[in-house]
Structure 1
Amino acid sequence: MSSRLIPAQTYEIPVHPSTEGYDVLRIAVEKHTYPAPRPLPANLRIAFLWTHGTGFHKEMMHPIMRQFAAQLRATPKYNKVEFDFISWDQRNHGDSARLNHGLLGMNTSWYDFGMDTIHIIDTLKLKRDYDKVIGIGHSVGATCMILAQFAQPGIFDGLCSIEPLVRGRVLDFEHRSKLPPLVVTNACMESLRNRPFWKSLHPEVLENYVHYGLYTTDDGSVMLKCTKEQENLTYWGDAYDSYTAFMSLKNLSVPLHVVLSDEDNW
């Protein structure tokens, strides 16, 4: 059974007005609500913003979102806390890529993802309607949140960065040109589950990748929502942004929790 969470609300919002494609590109956003247990009134409202990694999509975060919500509800001190989860697909990934089919350009900047992060927070009025806004991101999603905090200090009240892609130097052009796309054409469960990288994924995460990272075309063929071309462009968008994120860490004014893996599966 899929571990996809059913959202309470869905949104299609424009990308940040300062970025390329501002007049045509949109972002798919979902909101999941977790009110305080009745009859206890909430004394604190927290918004958690979740962002996926390169080549993936918002549903990849759902298994950990579900477990995290259960853990919070099982912790007595959070009995009076109302929290909402907001998850989204970056402009060239997942459902956002489907919204933007035929409109995506050849330029991809992680800083644009950071500005989109700010735009989601502003558009949904998270800073106004919640006592705290916490960012939880994986890989490029973690990096774009750090960039958002760098661009607008205080946009987050805390960050959890899972395997953030931050570097203390700018990679040489020759090295960047050799970065391969992660995606595999005609991906399916059986062909992926025994490969080294995919074996490291939680089974529910792999299942969600297969079920929600693909779509069926009108002619019956199966395609990736995030094309291998757009994924490769996303890696190229890392030219300076991961370095900027790394250098900005020393200036962060909010708590930062970093989660790193104990193996390199790339």
Structure 2
Amino acid sequence: MGASPVLLFAHGAGFCKEIWAPIIRRMQQSALLQHTVGVDFVNVDLPFHGSNRDNSVVAQVDEKGPHVTHPANNAIALATAALVQKAQQYGSAGRPVIGIGHSMGAAALWKAEISSPGMFKGLVLFEPIYGPPTPTGPNRPYNFMAEVTLKREWKWPSREAAISFFENWKSFLSWDRESLSCWMQGAIVPDETDDGAVVLACHPTVEAGSSTRMYHQEIFEGIASRHPNIFKMHAPMVGKSHLMVLEDPEGSTLLFAHATGFCKQVWDPVIRRLKLSPLLQDAVDQYVTYDQPYHGVNRDNSVLGQVYYKNDDPSAPRVSHPMNKWPEISADAAWAQVQKLQSTGTESRPLIGIGHSMGAAALWATEAKHPGTFDGLILFEPIYGEVDAEFDKKADFLVSLTLAREKKWPSMEAAIAHFENWNNFSTWDREMLASWIEGAVVFDEEQQAAVLSCDPVIEASVYAGSRLVLTESELAAPRCPVTFHSGDRTKLFDRSVFDSFVAVHPNIYTNHAPLPKTSHLMVFEDPESATNAILSDLNDLSPFQTGFQPLESHL
């Protein structure tokens, strides 16, 4: 087994090693790194920053330009030397070192690899400062960054005053709040000459003395085209500035909720397609699926459903089971998923819900009950409406059909063969069918047979139960866009009802044209079109739009 890797993080000018803490925490939670034994995450303060604060040399400020004369004029070279020393410390022990840097730190890592080729096994660089030397003398250009930095407030009577200043400072409003807190932890230090007061560890004159250039995409595209085996350019992070590391330490979360009788795996073909979309590169950090109560891994036959006939009519079978109250049960399950995400400590990740049928209704009910939970909802035919005479007729059919369904096979192979050749599933996409079988059919050791994870009696109890109904105040409650999609052959989605919601609440709801040649099961029949519908809606949501300012946290 090879030596465990070291990830070496280098910050930008004016920052500190602590700014990497939110990113390191998230990386440590990733499946990739949890399966890599012994990874070390090393973040360092570069010269004149954080714990390496040094005001022994007073900066000389020339108001013309303005220009600052200070050893920090050679900040990248100084940072390079520090990073070389740190990389050699680990590399000499035979451990592979991977550099991850932002701005000045990215440039210093790059320069370190150039000075000692092979020092790093890889470099991940966020907008490295790059370009020709700044002209001196009368030809020196106007330095906007230096002027802005020199005007920055740098001293406060107490730490509390400094924290209040930065938490409310307009220039930092786009920052992730956890990243801001981490930055203040290392960038604000006690004033050595004024008891109780605090100052910036890197004085603005020192920061202004750093050679500063912004990122020009075309320059790096040219470098990558000339050396394709070395350099790789990623698409820009949508709506982010040079400070993307501070603004968005992670992307959005997409939370998927499935329908009655299905399982979390049915979203896999859609997620696979979403991950291939250029729109979502670097924009989505988590794709989260879960099994509804009594479905998939939550299989539960401890409560038996009781079959009876409504008004003693043999053509109107019904089932009594807790899932008769599925609107409440499924909404509670969706809210539990949100709380689970909250418990991981992710404070800034936009959350978007994508659901089908019962799952769509559950997400909608969650947002109505807890406004602001989601940044967007994309709903495929949520089950909605009063249980009236018309729905009763549909329930007669659905319950009868479900109770008559085969549910047990001598082997998994027999079950798979049954569904692959079943006429009712002939319109399904084959990848989608395989994904459904993966989670919806299980081998029961007690029965020594393959069975449906969600027993048809339990599934039928959903159709025999209530439907989601929202009050006027609940319909008006969502604080995010809610979009509806349907199939053009559906019998379970009344477009006129959803059109009425759009008419009353046009700033909340959108009812899209039906997906052609599909039924209520459009996600399974045509996952390609369903994926395109999701992408179209995501493109219109704020977190995916250019120029987006991060939303108030919903997690």
RMSD: 3.1
Aligned runs of 1:111-190 on 2, under 5 Å? 111-125=328-342, 128-167=346-385, 169-172=386-389, 174-175=392-393, 176-180=395-399, 182=402, 184-186=406-408, 188-190=415-417
1:121/1:127 contact within 8 Å kept? no
CA drift of 1:262 comes to 2.0
Aligned amino acid, residue 448 of structure 2: G
Structure 2 CA distance for partners of 1:243 and 1:207, relative to 1, 3 Å: same
For 1:79-123, what per-residue CA distance to the aligned partner results, in whole angstroms no more than 9, with x for missing partners?
4435101111011101111xx442678212222211221122113
User: In structure 2, the residue corresponding to 1:149 is in which secondary structure?
Assistant: helix
**Count of aligned positions:** 224
Look up the match of 2:286.
84
Structure 1 length-normalised TM: 0.72
**Identical aligned pairs, as a percentage?**
21
Aligned match for 2:458, one of 211, 221, 230 = 230
Who wins on radius of gyration, i.e. which is larger?
A: 2
Structure 2 CA distance for partners of 1:189 and 1:216, relative to 1, 3 Å: closer
Q: Which has the higher helix share?
A: 2
Alpha-carbon distance in 1 for matches of 2:472, 2:435 = 31
Aligned amino acid, residue 102 of structure 1: S
CA drift of 1:194 comes to 5.2
Look up the match of 1:261.
487
Aligned amino acid, residue 450 of structure 2: V
Alpha-carbon distance in 2 for matches of 1:147, 1:67 = 27
Aligned match for 2:266, one of 51, 60, 71 = 60
Structure 2 CA distance for partners of 1:94 and 1:247, relative to 1, 3 Å: farther
Alpha-carbon distance in 1 for matches of 2:485, 2:406 = 26
Unaligned runs of 5+ in 2: 1-29, 33-122, 127-243, 306-320, 410-414, 491-518, 521-555
Structure 2 CA distance for partners of 1:186 and 1:235, relative to 1, 3 Å: same
CA drift of 1:66 comes to 1.2
Look up the match of 1:107.
322
Unaligned runs of 5+ in 1: 1-6, 10-36
Alpha-carbon distance in 2 for matches of 1:200, 1:129 = 42
For 1:21-48, what per-residue CA distance to the aligned partner results, in whole angstroms no more than 9, with x for missing partners?
xxxxxxxxxxxxxxxx954565252111
Structure 2 CA distance for partners of 1:117 and 1:158, relative to 1, 3 Å: same
Q: Out of 253-262 and 147-156, give the one that drifted further.
A: 253-262
Structure 1 ranges of 4+ moved more than 6 A: none
Aligned amino acid, residue 115 of structure 1: D
Q: Which has the higher contact order (CA 8 A, sep 6+)?
A: 1
CA drift of 1:198 comes to 1.4
Does the alignment pair 1:212 with 2:418? no
CA drift of 1:132 comes to 0.6
Q: Which has the higher strand share?
A: 1
CA drift of 1:245 comes to 8.1
